[in-house]
Homo-oligomer: A and B are copies of this chain.
Amino acid sequence: MDKLQRNERVAVLLKLLSDSPGKTFNLGVFTEMFGSAKSSISEDIDIVGNLLERFGIGSIETITGASGGVRYIPSLSRKNIAAILENLCGELSKRERILPGGFLYMLDIISHPEKVTEIGRIFASQFCSKAVDYVITVETKGIPLAFTTARFLNVPLVIVRHYNEATDGASVNINYVSGSSKQIQTMALSLKSLKRNSSLLFIDDFMKGGGTAKGIIELAKEFDCEISGIGVLIEKVEPYKKLVENYFSILTLNKVDEENGIIDIRPSSSWK
């Protein structure tokens, strides 16, 4: 391969680093790939870092020491987050989203690649400073959000099912009580899914009473794992008292007024 020019190196570096958020790259990898001196690569990486900060889409972290290198931190600027939240609230408060029973239709948002990517970045931005070994979620609707968050944090995703499939081997099953409907449900997780003593980030699309999150905490204990964070896209304001504490929500759904066709949804107070 011909030697790359600086403009090509900077572009490739930005792509490589931002395609693998959280992954540490030793500078030696790049000096070999580009056939350039370490000092040139360092300058290239400074340019990449400046660009990311200028556009508010992350930063480059330098890790010193023998196993050191550089990695991309997928943080978002306040300005970018504010724009995403405003857009989401505008989209979610359209009256045609109101379903019979006063439910809010949001399937299109939580499975739309661009929107999910934005939301996943917000979760990653929020939790990237914590030690997270896995992102965990419960089937089905939160999976794209949880997967995207896992991708930005560069850790595997673990999906808890409502029943165990023969094709996934032995599982741990627990029963839990839904926080709002008070129904007993089952969670099943394949034994091979998690390494003991791991730190888990629970991501879901919606929280009402917090029963699912509490169930996940119980399930994690069976694997000697702990939940280091809980992130939900939307929390319903009622019930005020949730079954878990210390969760992070992006938006709060205050009210769906079926009669008058009004949806009151806002950025959560965690942003203040």
Q: Which residues of A contact B (CB under 8 A)?
A: 1, 6-8, 10-15, 18-20, 47-48, 51, 54-55, 99-101, 103-105, 107-108, 111-114, 116-117, 139-141, 143-144, 147-148, 150-151, 154-159, 161, 166-169, 190, 192-193
For this chain, the copies found in one complex come to 2
- B7 with A113: CB separation less than 8 A: no
Report Cα–Cα, A14/B117, bound state, in Å: 18
Residues of B within 8 A of A193 (CB): 107-108
- Distance (whole angstroms) from the CB of A180 to the closest CB of chain B: 11
If A7-B11, A8-B10, A113-B147 are given as contacts, then 9 extra A-B residue pairs at C-beta distance below 8 Å, sorted by A number, are A7-B10, A7-B47, A10-B11, A99-B169, A103-B167, A103-B169, A108-B156, A113-B154, A140-B159
Residues of B within 8 A of A101 (CB): 166
Report Cα–Cα, A147/B15, bound state, in Å: 21
- A51 with B8: CB separation less than 8 A: yes
Report Cα–Cα, A161/B143, bound state, in Å: 13
- Distance (whole angstroms) from the CB of A208 to the closest CB of chain B: 10
Residues of B within 8 A of A141 (CB): 159
- A190 with B15: CB separation less than 8 A: no
Report Cα–Cα, A116/B100, bound state, in Å: 37
Residues of B within 8 A of A47 (CB): 7-8, 11
Residues of B within 8 A of A7 (CB): 6-7, 10-11, 47
Residues of B within 8 A of A104 (CB): 167
Residues of B within 8 A of A108 (CB): 156, 192-193
Report Cα–Cα, A214/B6, bound state, in Å: 52
> Which chain B residue lies CB-closest to A44?
B7
Report Cα–Cα, A7/B6, bound state, in Å: 7
- A144 with B169: CB separation less than 8 A: no
Residues of B within 8 A of A159 (CB): 107, 111, 140-141, 143
Residues of B within 8 A of A6 (CB): 7
Residues of B within 8 A of A114 (CB): 20, 154
Q: Can you list 16 A-B pairs with a CB-CB distance of less than 8 A?
A: A1-B54, A7-B7, A7-B10, A7-B47, A8-B10, A8-B47, A11-B47, A100-B169, A103-B168, A107-B193, A113-B150, A113-B155, A140-B140, A143-B159, A144-B144, A147-B148
Choice from B51, B147, B166 contacting A11 with Cβ under 8 Å: B51
Known contacts A12-B51, A14-B11: does B190 contact A147 (CB below 8 Å)?
A: no
Report Cα–Cα, A205/B17, bound state, in Å: 28
- B192 with A107: CB separation less than 8 A: yes
